[in-house]
Amino acid sequence: MRLLEALILALLPIAATASTHWPYKRYVIPDITSDLHKHGKLEFADSEPPNHFIEWLRAAVQSDQSGTLQQPFRGDKIPRHVKNFEELWDHIQFPEALDNATHRPIFTHPTFPIPPTNQEALSIFADLGYTVDPLCTSDKTKWFYRTVDGSCNWMEVGNTAYGQFGAKRSRDYNQYSYQDGYNKPRDGPNPRAVSNAFFKRKQRLYYEHTPLLLGLIEFIMHDVTYSEDSTTEYIDVPVPPDEDTFPTNTTFRVWRTERVPGTGTSPSNPRENANQASTWLDVSSLYGSSTEVSRALRSFEKGQLLTSQGSFLPFNTMGLPMRTRPGVDLKSLFAGGDPRTNEDRIMLAVHTLLLRDHNRMCDLLAKQHPEYDDERIYQTVRLAMAAKFALIANSYQMAYWQTTGTDAMPWPRDDGFPLYRQMYGENALEINPAHLYPWPLVTKGGKPMVASAEMAVVYRFHEFIIPSFPLKDAKNNTMQEKSTFESALDSKGFIAAGLENILRGIVATDIPNFKSGVDESFRSAGKYRGSPFDIVTWSIVHEREQGLPTFNEYFRAYNSYDPAVVIPIRERFEDFSSDPEMVAHLKRLYTHPDEVDLVVGCQLEETNFPGTTVPSSALIISLFSLFGLGNSDRFSVGYSIMRCILVDKPWDCTPSNALDELFWDPKPTEHFPRARWLNTFWLNELDFQAHGTNLLWRLITENSGVDCLQKNPLFPYDPETNPILCSLPSASPNVPELILTAIEVILTLYKKHQGSFITFLVGLITLIGWIIYQFRTHPSGLPPALYGWPILGVALQFKSDPSGLLLKGMRKWRNVFGLKLANQIQYVVTSPADMQAIVDDSQYEVKFSLHEFLRSINSDLITGKTNFETDLHTRLMRNNLLDSEKLAGFAETAGNACNLFLSRQPLLEANEKEKHYDDLIDYLNRYITFVMSRCIVGPDSFDDEGLLKTFLKFNDDAINAMGLASLLPSPLRFIAGLSIQKDYKAIERVLVPAVGRRRSQQSSDVNFLNFILPVIDKDKDAADMLAIVVFGGLTNLQATMHSTFLDIINQPGLQDRILNSLGGAATRNLSSNRSSPWASLRSAAFESLRLSGPVTGPAREIMEDVPLPSDPSRHLPKGQAIALTAYYLHRQPSVWGADPDKYRWDRFIKEDPPIGSDRFVSWGLETPHMCPGRWFALQSIQIMVKALLEKYEFSQDRELSDSEKYRYSSGSVLRNPVGVKVLRRS
């Protein structure tokens, strides 16, 4: 007990370090190639990051003239020494008693299904200033959580569809500029001619931003607006006579936007366009805006969203309507909440990060609240994700601020409201986050601001599009340059490129500035969705066909509201631009300034909005509108954070939604049962202490293998203003300090218990050893690894759950990582380049040795040292089992052995018609052993009962010996071979006499002993060789034959289908011919072989330090192992399509799998060491399964899902048992 006490007390500082939630310590390094351990310095060496939210609240309370903000705090102020939320709680001024006039009754939290709760809602929403619609309040799911389609966000009677999926898209000033007043597109010059004149890229002006800014623009716009194309109406745009890119007969066909049914019939009923996305910043691009899409993307387990292997977006096996182009199968694309999810890799990177962050936050919430069910976790985290994204959008809009010079954005710049202060000419005392919902400043005519038709067209910033960006490794080396356009709609290519490589490339690149023009790869694309494409022509056509106002028309309406920032009306063409060439184009194309298109006027704008780097007219339609719709949202993060200060008070607060509930923790007392206070954990999770400015850095580092990048990823790296910050929590503990603390604790205990000196000494030595092991400096330049415990590493976890351990590493690092398995680290590689290095070295094995790896896992104990060194058993199999004529002879032997076994050991006795078995695994093992023994040993003694049992025991003992290899030091390795030596002796007792008899006989029987006798003179050595070859057969067949047979009977109707296809099949015509009657069974066997691959393997020992081909900045160290993973590689959507983990028996009907390639590694890579018995194994499986199916019909107790079939252990794959009823076939 005292030893335990000493260890626990000594470990307290470690536990405290490990449990720290954000803000955690980050390290600053000089540049991305610097060694963190040599050059890293703490970002805040002597203090914690400042809490800007507390500082803002302190200032707001101090300047509050109404007294509303001051009321909750003692002395109507927040003292200077208060630095965090816990300290602030101590300064709440509780009243003597609750005010009964304002106190609400206590309501219970909903359970699912939720009963009507109209009374509760009416109490909470009594002060909104409008009548609440009963459609929203009668069901708590509609007001306590976001609805899927965005309805009931605005709950006013008759207007609950504001911002809803499918509702008509609003117009900023209710302007309809159709040529006929209600339907016909507004007239104007040729859109392609306009594109050529004003949008062609003439020069690339540098903009100090990274393409991540572009990705966020895309995601935001896809989040709030989407239009379906009409299927019947289109506008053809011929290229102009002076076209210099496309042939003169080229025509762009632009489909009109689908109208709201019934509109566009008269001037009093103009054409309206439906918004096929909810208009709120609710991350619907990830979650979907319809029930069908939303449910298809959910796992319905612990609130999480579906993922594919590697925590990527799920593949579209559910058939959601994703945008594609001819030749790209919908099911090969990722599924997302928005049809445009797959349109480029930058946006896909944002999607992937948000998906992973949702699932990560679900894990956090589930651990805090184990009583929450799936629905409650999902709905709460969905709100939290939208809140987090709104804060990210704050960082996004700050990226446009001018921060130097006389035009710099005034302070405060990071509270989310400087744009509105500029717009209305107010200061921070007048416009700040402290306001009630609904906020009059973001309503128009008493209605909330939502994404408008004008915003949907103008807020695209197409000039930011880059033609390509690099893939970067961890040392910032460019791996390859990838075309942005050509890499679109290629989910498999996205996975192959690697999220980390894409992210590093994104943040290491810059984008063009406004006035640069649009890149030709998007302005003059040869094919997009099957036809020529110009992104600018599309924008202009859509502006006109939707009847949007021209530039002057729009800003006349805008100026009529008397804003502080006025946009001058262009009376002359010269007012649009100071560039004579642009003015000449305007005069050539338009007849009057009032005709100039909205997007053209914004493109030519030369004055930036005050305090920003964005042209004024474009900003007003885009960012100003974005800010307005964000603050019109009832679930806005700003309203939630002020809920229990402005609406209610901390001592009596009722959450109006699940986000309020997340932010405001219950702190009930006897007199104040509804007291709540800010939840530090979730405020830190959403980075409130920094107004969300760290969230993009965290989004990347917490959800990918990228640990180091610039502080603000929206801007390029700068050593002074935007340094590289690294997240390395595991390296943060101060080892000497921890050891000294441990010593101090143990010495204190020693003084009290001097008689227990030995106990304390052991505790001290154990502790110091563990700390040094756990927190040692990781060798520079090596791939990351899962190290686990001292000595054992992760060997125990690998033995019990190897697939879980593998996926943990894949989620964290993906392409390569290590598993510390006691004496050796196995580096698992999945990159084709890394696997090719094994192939290239295979002839001489200078870098990677199979032989030495086999020695390390005790193969020499299994096969015997002499045989192991000569590799005779492998050469015998390679020389004989790859010969097609000899293989054909084995087919007849195997077939006869199957029939003999089934007659001797029937599943049904003669008088039985059916029988139930708890499982068939043991029976199948006996079946396989019997057939292998007959094929290898020959007709003499092969069926000796003791021999067959020993073969099975030898197989088990050999596998156990391999498992012990990494756990035993070299002097003790002989222990693993003791049971094997006993097995050899038992086998020899039966087979040595049989071998002797066989030498004196002549026989035409085909068996493997025929090949052994000419090369091995001693009968004992020949008997041992037979044991080794049988072991090889059993090891390969136990997983694959089990799976082939059990997969077939698991799928209803398949055994009859396979059996019917075998009509005319015989051992004499067993072949790989596609027309062969064996083709269906062969395909099924290959599919089972694909899915039953081991978690790690094949493997090699690393013979010298080898630079990693996929990342030359890292190397594989000598003495460790490199391993493939059939389990992971065989489930890659990039290779196997949208259903890689699903059993499809007919997958290989048309062609065999790519055996020996980096896509199919069950038998190894295409090297001289590829499995020599592969075709013998495949042939035997087919023969054994056919014999079983012909004799019996099988009916499982239940159909197993693909995830239920397998049980993995280190080095082996077993099938989970399932009950089976056996019936005799007539």
Verify cis geometry, omega within 30 degrees of 0, for the bond prior to 240: no
Q: What is the pLDDT of residue 283?
A: 96
Report the chain's mean pLDDT, rounded to a whole number. Answer: 86
| pLDDT at site 161 | 92
Measured CA to CA, the distance from residue 147 to residue 163 in angstroms comes to 11
Instruction: Judge whether residue 4 has pLDDT over 70.
Output: no
Do 992 and 1099 share a domain, yes or no? yes
DSSP 820-885: EETTEEEEEE--HHHHHHHHHHTTT-SSEEHHHHHHHTTHHHHH-HHHHHHTHHHHHHHHHHT-HH
Token pair for residue 357?
Answer: 């962050």
Most confident of 479-488, 576-585, 720-729: 576-585
The answer on pLDDT for 66 being more than 90 is no
pLDDT tens digits, one per residue of 967-976 = 555 555 567 6
Q: Over 70: is that where the pLDDT of 528 sits?
A: no
Instruction: Work out the average pLDDT over 463-471.
Output: 84
952/950 Cα distance (integer angstroms): 5
**Residue 446: inside a domain:** no
| 73 and 2 in a common domain | no
Predicted local distance difference test score (pLDDT) of residue 630: 85
For residue 9, pLDDT over 50 is answered with: no
Residue 1211's pLDDT is: 67
Q: 941 is written with which tokens?
A: 């003694």
Q: How far is CA 306 from CA 302, 315, 318, 1166, in A?
A: 11, 9, 11, 35
What pLDDT shows up at residue 519? Answer: 86
Are 767 and 905 in a shared domain? no
Q: What is the CA radius of gyration of the chain?
A: 36
886 has pLDDT over 80: yes
Q: What was the pLDDT predicted at 516?
A: 82
The answer to whether position 1141 is within a domain reads yes
Top-confidence range, 399-403, 550-554, 700-704: 550-554
**315, pLDDT greater than 80:** yes
- Same domain? For 1053 and 935 the reply is yes
174 phi/psi in degrees, rounded to 5: 55, 40
Q: Is 34 exposed, middle or buried (0-12, 13-18, 19+ CB in 10 A)?
A: middle
Rounded to whole angstroms, what are the CA distances from 185 to 175, 232, 454, 707? 14, 15, 15, 51
- Total of domains in the chain: 3
Is the pLDDT at 335 greater than 50? The verdict is yes
Cβ distance 1124 to 1098 under 8 Å? yes
Give the helix/strand (H/E) hosting 349. Answer: helix 345-368
Do 3 and 56 fall into the same domain? Answer: no
Given pLDDT bands bounded at 50, 70 and 90, which one contains residue 19?
A: very low
Cβ 732 vs Cβ 17: under 8 Å: yes
666 within domain boundaries: no
- Domain shared by 922 and 1006, yes or no: yes
| Residues 1172, 1109 share a domain | yes
DSSP H helices, 753-813, are 757-774, 795-800, 802-812
Q: Looking at residues 982-1009, what average pLDDT do you find? A: 91
- As a whole-number percent, the residues of the chain with pLDDT over 70 amount to 90
Confirm whether 747 is domain-assigned. yes
SS3 of 946-991: HHHHHHHHHHHHHHHHHHHCCCCCHHHCHHHHHHHHHHHHHHHHHH
Asked if residue 996 and residue 910 are part of one domain, the reply reads yes
The residues near 1089 (Cβ < 8 Å, ≥ 6 apart) are 1040, 1043, 1044, 1162, 1178
What per-residue confidence (pLDDT) applies to 956?
A: 82
Identify the CA nearest to 719 among candidates 28, 10, 19, 13: 28
Q: Is the pLDDT of residue 366 over 60?
A: yes
Query: Does the pLDDT of residue 749 top 50, yes or no?
Result: no
Query: 368: pLDDT confidence band, cut at 50, 70 and 90?
Result: very high
Residue 7 has pLDDT above 60, yes or no: no
Find out whether the peptide bond into 321 is cis, omega within 30 degrees of 0: no
Question: What confidence score (pLDDT) does residue 8 get?
Answer: 34
Model confidence at 117: pLDDT above 80: no
Q: Is residue 570 part of a domain?
A: no
pLDDT in tens, 1134-1188: 888 888 889 999 999 989 999 988 889 988 898 888 888 999 999 999 999 999 9
Alpha-carbon torsion (576, 578, 582, 586), positive or negative:
positive
Average confidence (pLDDT) over 448-476? 84
Residues 760 and 907 in one domain: no
Last-in-domain residue among 778, 806, 839: 778
Q: pLDDT tier at 775 (50, 70, 90 boundaries)?
A: very low
For 151-171, write each residue's pLDDT tens digit.
999 999 999 999 999 899 999
One domain for residues 752 and 883: no
User: What is the Cα–Cα distance from 936 to 1011, expressed in whole angstroms?
Assistant: 10
Tens digit of each residue's pLDDT (9 = 90 or more) over 945-964: 999 999 998 888 877 777 66
Confidence at residue 5, expressed as pLDDT on a 0 to 100 scale? 39
Distances 144 to 103, 113, 434, 893 between C-alpha atoms, Å: 20, 13, 22, 71
In a domain, residue 245? The reply is: no
Q: In this structure, are 10 and 70 located in the same domain?
A: no
Q: Within a 10 A sphere around the Cβ of 1117, how many other Cβ atoms?
A: 17
In this prediction, residues 1097-1101 reach a mean pLDDT of 90
SS3 helix, strand, coil % of the chain, rounded to 5?
45, 10, 45
- Would you say residue 717 lies in a domain? no
Can you give the pLDDT at residue 356? 96
Q: Do 774 and 858 lie in a common domain?
A: no
Those residues whose C-beta lies under 8 Å from the C-beta of residue 87, and which sit 6 or more positions away, are 81
- Lay out the sheet containing 816-821: strands in order across: 785-786, 816-821, 824-829, 1121-1123, 1099-1102, 848-849
Taking the model in full, what pTM does it have? 0.65
Q: Which pLDDT score, from 0 to 100, does residue 854 have?
A: 86
pLDDT over threshold 50, residue 16: no
Checking if the pLDDT of 577 tops 60, the result is yes
The per-residue DSSP string of 464-507 comes to: G--SEEEEE-TT--EEEEEETTTTTT-HHHHHHH-HHHHHHHHH
Is 462 among the annotated ligand-binding positions?
yes
Instruction: List, in order, residues 6 or more apart from 781 with CB less than 8 Å away.
Output: 1113, 1114, 1115
**How does pLDDT run across 167-193, given as a tens digit for each residue?**
999 999 999 999 999 999 999 999 999
Q: What is the pLDDT of residues 238-288, one digit of tens each?
A: 999 999 999 999 999 999 999 999 999 999 999 999 999 999 999 999 999
Is the pLDDT reported for residue 461 higher than 90?
no
pLDDT of residue 529: 54
* DSSP for 72-123, written as a single string: TBGGGS--TT--SHHHHHTTB---SS--TTTPPPP-PPP-SSPPP-HHHHHH
How far apart are the two ends of the chain, measured CA to CA in Å? 69
Confidence of residue 1057 (pLDDT cuts 50, 70, 90): very high
Domain span at residue 8 reads 1-19+737-778
Examine residue 542 and state whether it is found in any structural domain, yes or no.
no
